A and B are shown apart, each in its own frame.
Chain A
Amino acid sequence: MPTAEMYLSQSSDIAARTLGDDTIIMSTLDSTVFMLNSVGTAIWNAADGTTPLSQIVHDRVCAEFDVNEDEAYADAKEFAGQLAEHGILHVSDAPASSLEAQ
């Protein structure tokens, strides 16, 4: 489990739509396209900038899918990192409200 929390928030430079369990996300900056499966969609929909990733994994992934929590957290971190590289997600070590207060 995490030694330091991560907080994810969706970029405003994207378009996104969920059909069934899948979500398509397109960067308006470089037109990169991502398709998320049901687990990715669950994390994406919970990326509100204030919920710690560990809680998202616990509440939205492990509660819904039959996965080991430590492995799920490691996968979720990697997933968030990939989307962050393309500017799709913002990753922070503080919740959005704290950042806004700074």
Chain B
Amino acid sequence: MSLIEEFNEKATTRGIPLSAHLDVTWRCNERCVHCYLEHDAKGEMSTQEIKDVIRQLADMGTFFLSISGGEPLLRRDCFEILEYARSLRFQTKLKTNAVMIGPKEAAHLKKLSLEKVQISLYSNRPEAHDAITKLPGSFRRTINAIKLLKEQGVNVSITNVLMQLNSRHAKAVKQLAQELGVEFTIDPTITPMINGDRSITKLNIPIEELYSIMHDEDFVGDVGEFCAPVGTVGDDVLDGYSCSAGHTLAYISPFGDVYPCVSFPMPCGSVRRQSFRDIWFDSPAFAELRSVHVRDLHTCSHCSHTAYCSRCPGLAYMEGDFRGPSTADCEKSYVRTGVPSAAMQRAGRVPQVFTGLVQISGIQ
């Protein structure tokens, strides 16, 4: 067990929100076609309110803090917020599109000793990236910012959200990341909007393409290991939880609303009405979430993918039942292994992506 895992276990045992994701604004200078936020929402927390939330998180033992948005640098006080977070010794990550980062901002970010600056990049082709962000010139500005940050010695990572518009560029983006000397990750899931609107999920890549990505060593490493089904599940898995949301992770919106995760918009309280501590320990929503173990999941507990599925309870919640399966994760487990999930079998809907291969079914 690594030291981080050991610390995480201590946090879980003590009920500490070890990680927090704080969106300081939902406003943005880009209009990405797949974005799950409402950019015109009003009533953001003030500088003082945000600092107060950050202090409360520090008092509760939160160690990992992601400052995000919207575009966080649209707030004039963004650097003040980051400085305050670092003064309280958070391991701090900034998620940004980077178009507002010039030499001065890059130097300032270096001085803050952030864990990393995580930047969204959708293509290696300027026209394709700009078509997704709807901001002309955004590719050029983002790439310039990455170079400036690297010159300063700031740790940078590129996140490439895959959708039908850009998935064929994924390898080239990875190559570009290597040339720039930065980390690279892909995210193959478009999540519904935080207000429940699912229309943007039509941008998701087709399952055949998901199959190709999940069987490509450039993206998953050892394909044999990544795609191997695991049949047996022990009590340690069944007594555990699907993910850290609401257990050691919390999300706080720019308006002070608290949720288990940014992808799990189940209202748990507002820091404008209660302390974060009271919400974390006393919210009925958090209590309900924490009462559900893997063995309590009506479909997934009997699924052959239980041991390794990336099941997102937030996506399941947005499908109507956080105790139920998430279609996107069923598809991922299926294309990885060729074994249909329990939910797919129950619904009698198994996508045909394994043409010509022996298909296994009915392992329960």
Contact = CB atoms under 8 A, between A and B. Distances in A.
A102 B188 CA distance: 55
B115 A24 contact: no
A15 B115 contact: yes
Nearest to B89: A16
B6 A28 contact: no
A20 interface: yes
A24 B89 contact: no
Kindly name the residue among A12, A15, A26, A33 whose own CB sees the greatest number of chain B CB atoms within 10 A: A15
A26 B6 contact: no
Contacts of B2: 33
B113 A19 contact: no
B113 A17 contact: no
B83 to A, nearest CB: 11
Contacts of A29: 113
Given A12-B113, A24-B63, A19 B11 contact: yes
A17 B10 CA distance: 12
Interface in A1-32: 12-20, 22, 24, 26, 28-29, 31
Contact of A35 (B3, B11, B14, B113): B3
Contacts, number: 49
B3 A33 contact: yes
Given A24-B3, A28-B114, A15 B89 contact: yes
Interface in B262-321: none
A34 B63 CA distance: 14
Contacts of B10: 19-20, 22
Interface string B154-183: 010000000000000000000000000000
A29 B63 CA distance: 17
A95 B63 CA distance: 29
A31 B6 CA distance: 16
The prevalent SS among residues of A at the interface is: strand
Interface residues of B, number: 22
B3 A17 contact: no
Nearest to B114: A28
B61 A28 contact: no
Contacts of A22: 7, 10
Contact of A15 (B6, B14, B16, B91): B91
Given A33-B4, A35-B7, A17 B92 contact: no
**For this complex, into which size category does the number of interface residues on chain A fall?**
10 to 19
A26 B113 CA distance: 11
Interface string B9-20: 011001010000
Contacts of A18: 61
B259 interface: no
Contacts of A19: 7, 10-11, 14, 16, 61
Contacts of A16: 89
A28 B91 CA distance: 8
A85 B6 CA distance: 23
Contacts of A26: 91, 115
A14 B89 contact: yes
Interface string A18-57: 1110101010110101110000000000000000000000
B108 to A, nearest CB: 14
B92 A15 contact: yes
Contacts of A28: 91, 113-115, 155
A67 B155 CA distance: 42
A15 B14 CA distance: 20
22 contacts: A12-B86, A12-B113, A13-B113, A15-B92, A17-B62, A18-B61, A19-B7, A19-B10, A19-B11, A19-B16, A19-B61, A22-B7, A22-B10, A24-B7, A26-B91, A26-B115, A28-B113, A28-B155, A31-B115, A33-B2, A33-B3, A35-B3
Given A24-B3, A33-B4, 9 more contacts: A14-B113, A17-B58, A19-B10, A19-B14, A19-B61, A26-B91, A28-B155, A33-B3, A35-B3
Interface of A: 12-20, 22, 24, 26, 28-29, 31, 33-35
